[in-house]
Amino acid sequence: MVLELINNNAGIENWVGDISEIGAIYPFVGYEGLMVLLGLIFWIGWHILQIKDEAREWRETIDAHAHKQTPKPGDDQL
């Protein structure tokens, strides 16, 4: 029984032959172009959000350091 489950091959008994007779062997056949487009939109959008977030963090860091006094040469402040 276990051996039958391992060798099931999704109900296909013979892989030799015309693939068009077998039919779709993966989900969402025909949507490859749409999936690539959605992936690109997500990828570019993620980069835009990441750049904005990092720019905000840099501005906060620069503003925090801009308000500190820089020691002058000769000042003996520890």
Specify if 62 maps to a domain.
yes
Which residue reads 């489950």 in tokens?
Answer: 5
Q: Rounded to an integer, what distance in angstroms lies between the CA atom of residue 75 and that of residue 78?
A: 9
Specify if 17 maps to a domain.
no
Domains: count for the chain = 1
Mean pLDDT for 42-63 is 96
Which amino acid, residue 52? K
Instruction: Tell me if the pTM is above 0.85.
Output: no
Specify if 76 maps to a domain.
no
Q: Calculate the average pLDDT of the chain.
A: 80
CB 10 within 8 A of CB 25: yes
Specify if 5 maps to a domain.
no
pLDDT > 90? residue 58: yes
Domain that includes residue 60, residue range: 29-66
Specify if 54 maps to a domain.
yes
Specify if 59 maps to a domain.
yes
